[in-house]
Amino acid sequence: MKVLILGNGQLGQMLGQAAIQLGQECLLINTRTDQVMPVAAHHPLNISIADAVEWADIVTWEHEQISDAHVQLAAHKLLTDPAQIRPLTHRQEEKSLCDQLGLATAPWQPFANASELKDILSNWEGKAVIKAAEGGYDGKGQWRWAPGEAIEPLLATAGQQPGIVESMIPFSREVSVVGARHRDGHHLCYSLVENVHTQGILSHTLAGLTDIPAHLQVTAEAWFARLTEHLGYVGTLAIEFFVVGEGDQSQLLVNEIAPRVHNSGHWSQSGSNCSQFGLHIRALTGMPMPALTMQPTLMLNVIGVDGIPAPLWEHAATYPFWYGKDARPGRKVGHVNVALEHGNEAADWINDWSNRLQMLQDD
Ligand code: ATP
Ligand code: MG
């Protein structure tokens, strides 16, 4: 089948490679310039978007910020109604959807402006995280507040757009479920993975390396199924969670939902029989989805640095991915998957490499 992807960043490129591996054809749209791009070259093709949509059997996306113009052009070839995933691009609507579906979240309240934010914080108990309703990613568009701290400075920043206030969760860990809903309606999920964030940006993912209680997997999959069925969603989707409590007493709170392939699924490019990108293409094109395996894998994000150091290109256990982007502090420019035997090896790899691979923004 012919697959057209809205967006040609690293996620689009990786989807394109997966499509080709599965015998499908693929083109990408640079959604900023409206150019049609091939997989694996940054050289636009001399055809219009309308022609590319006409060429395609299926249109899908690498990011969920889809313009009305693109929706109009491609609506008849999208397998998920973009109107259904629109709430997931707006934190107030995303949280309301979770409430509606009975998916637990941190306690939260919406605000429309600075004066509503002031009222909420004046009565808030405990520490809070304030998030802009739209446009935030990698920790951007977020502010922290603790009781006793001045509210006024926040009104001039956080209060300048609609947003939410939510409780700061003293989580024991963060995990995510990545899975796909097939066009025939059935779904499959990978086992939960653990994610560690620094300054709100994903530093590394531990897949098959930490003990995650089995009851959390059951809950995560049940919520994945409830959500994707409600949305009529087809393809790969990720749900990020906070885990509160320990062991048998632990529970999940939904933090964020990404209706697309997700950074916390990158371990699957070398750690599974089917990557999250292959899973997306299979779900869309109607190919079989296999029982998903997980070999112990550490995914280290490469952030803001000029390149991946030579030892990580040379080591027998590493799978480096470089996105071909210019480095900027806080910008994801690659990742390195490391195949490990045991969880206790992960700490050494993280200690040895995460600082060298990550240049974050100054606080
Ligand atoms: P992404 O790049 O994943 O879309 P984001 O910037 O949109 O991230 P979140 O996922 O909401 O935003 O937050 C980033 C990280 O900040 C979380 O993974 C978590 O580590 C921390 N964080 C966010 N909200 C809370 C909270 N309520 N309590 C504790 N930590 C939080
Ligand atoms: Mg997040």
Give the residue extent of every domain in the chain. Answer: 2-78, 107-167, 173-357
Tens of pLDDT along 136-179? 887 889 999 999 999 999 999 999 999 999 999 999 999 999 99
pLDDT at 190: 98
pLDDT at 337: 98
Minimum CA distance residue for ligand 1 atom 14: 200
Q: Which of 207, 128, 138, 222 lies closest to 175, judged by CA?
A: 207
Tens of pLDDT along 36-55? 999 989 999 999 999 999 99
| Bridge partners (DSSP) listed for residue 298 | 206, 338
pLDDT at 363: 62
pLDDT at 275: 98
Tens of pLDDT along 279-331? 999 999 999 999 999 999 999 999 999 999 999 999 999 999 999 999 999 99
Distance, in Å, from the CA atom of 190 to the CA atom of 179, rounded to the nearest integer, reads: 6
Q: What is the pTM of this model?
A: 0.97
| Rounded mean pLDDT, 207-214 | 96
Distance, in Å, from the CA atom of 337 to the CA atom of 165, rounded to the nearest integer, reads: 35
One DSSP character per residue, 218-255 reads HHHHHHHHHHHHHHT--EEEEEEEEEES-GGG-EEEEE
Which ligand 1 atom lies nearest to the CA of residue 128? Answer: 27
- Closest ligand to Cα 142: 1
Query: Regarding beta strands 35-38 and 2-6, do their DSSP bridges make them parallel or antiparallel, or are they unpaired?
Result: unpaired
pLDDT at 138: 79
pLDDT at 4: 98
pLDDT at 247: 93
pLDDT at 343: 84
DSSP code for 291: P
Distance, in Å, from the CA atom of 37 to the CA atom of 292, rounded to the nearest integer, reads: 31
Tokens of 117: 């934010």
CATH number of this structure's domain 2-78:
3.40.50.20
Strand locations in the chain (E): 2-6, 25-30, 35-38, 58-61, 108-111, 128-132, 142-145, 163-167, 173-181, 187-189, 193-198, 201-207, 235-244, 251-258, 297-303, 318-322, 332-339
> Which of 255, 262, 363, when mutated, tests ligand 1's pocket best, judged by the most ligand atoms within 8 Å of its CB?
255
CATH number of this structure's domain 107-167:
3.30.1490.20
Task: State in Å: Cα 32 to ligand 1 middle.
Answer: 26
- 173-357: CATH class: alpha beta
